[in-house]
Structure 1
Amino acid sequence: MDDSIEIYDLRGLNCPLPVLKARKRLAGLTQGARLWLETTDPLAVLDIPAFCTEAGHLLVETVALDGAHRFLIERGR
């Protein structure tokens, strides 16, 4: 994992908050910037990839953690 990429801690938040907060945070980044999202929401494994596809972002990597997931997203258009 690249330590220079910020981790946006969304643990403890449930659907739809992780996607809503991710959308807002990514909107403030430049195209091509990367951000790790970390969430404990079990639906995030479905919601985050769908959000990336719909919003034009690239889901670079998904990592399963103990009780959580981490998603590396590259901001698209």
Structure 2
Amino acid sequence: MNFDTELDASGLNCPLPILRTKKAMNEMSSGQVMKVMATDPGAVKDFEAFCKQTGSALLEQAQESDRFVFFIRKQ
């Protein structure tokens, strides 16, 4: 999937992956896509809730070995 920016939140525990994502998305334009990588298993539910709260679209989520990958389009 094509994306405009990437954030590696590997090794960070809740709520840091969400906080770093929110900060990075503030620098993005509406419609841009961010790829986020995280290792915290709680990130799956956290990013679903984050997207519902912010109106951003969770385009795809996957697990690659010990890492979770999310593609989020900013509203």
TM-score norm. by structure 2 comes to: 0.93
Match of 1:15 in 2: 14
CA distance in 1, matches of 2:4, 2:19: 20
The 5 Å alignment of 1:33-72 reads 33-72=32-71
Which deviations, in whole Å up to 9, do the C-alpha atoms of 1:6-34 show, x marking residues without a partner?
32100000000000010010111000000
CA distance in 2, matches of 1:21, 1:5: 16
CA distance in 1, matches of 2:15, 2:72: 17
Question: Aligned-pair RMSD on alpha carbons?
Answer: 1.1
TM-score norm. by structure 1 comes to: 0.91
Match of 2:29 in 1: 30
Identity across the alignment (%):
35
Unaligned runs of 5+ in 1: none
Give the Å deviation of 1:68. Answer: 1.1
List, as ranges, runs of 4+ consecutive aligned residues in structure 1 with deviation greater than 3 Å. none
| Count of aligned pairs | 75
CA distance in 2, matches of 1:5, 1:69: 18
